[in-house]
Structure 1
Amino acid sequence: MSFQAYLDNIQTKTGKTPTEFKKLAEKKGFLTKGKLTAGIKAGEIVQWLKDEFELGHGHAMALFALFKGVKKEGDK
């Protein structure tokens, strides 16, 4: 499955776009000016996404990769 397919599946399940997730992550303090806040660990973000949006581990990690800047929308 491509990275973009993960993002598409997340949007289908939650109704939220990657941009909306970035805004929510900023409100939670996980991102600062679009960048991962220093000291934030993947586990914190994954747990938030699992608890609040019922995402699986792989989908939550895809969003973490997006937040971290390792991947971007449209990546395969």
Structure 2
Amino acid sequence: MSFQTYLDNAEKQTGITPRGFLDLVAGRNLTKHGEIVAWLKTEHGLGHGHATAIARLATKGPEFVAEHHTGGVLHLDGLAARTGQ
């Protein structure tokens, strides 16, 4: 499963876009990968893989993730923002 697919599936499950998750993590002042994963699993019911993807996005930043995991293309504004979805 691609990194973007993990983000898209987390959005489908929760209704929260990747950018929305970034805002939520920042608002809670969560900075450590493990604490973000635990919070996402507990508060949002995400599985480990989906929570890990969002935690990596939050801790490493969108630019790093785009460069290292998605071939330079990363969609953070949700499925509805993309045409054809």
Q: Which category of TM-score, normalised to the shorter sequence, fits these structures? A: 0.7 to 0.9
Amino acid at match of 1:22: L
Structure with bigger strand share is: 1
Percent same amino acid at aligned positions? 50
- d(CA) in 2 for partners of 1:61 and 1:71? 12
Q: How many pairs are equivalent?
A: 66
Q: 1:47 and 2:38 equivalent?
A: yes
Q: Show structure 2 runs of 5+ residues with no match.
A: 72-85
- State the TM-score, normalizing by the size of structure 2: 0.70
Larger radius of gyration: 2
CA RMSD between the two structures? 1.6
Structure 1 residue ranges (4+ consecutive) displaced by more than 2 angstroms after TM superposition: none
- d(CA) in 2 for partners of 1:43 and 1:65? 10
- d(CA) in 2 for partners of 1:12 and 1:28? 22
Q: 1:26 and 2:21 equivalent?
A: no
- d(CA) in 2 for partners of 1:75 and 1:17? 17
- State the TM-score, normalizing by the size of structure 1: 0.77
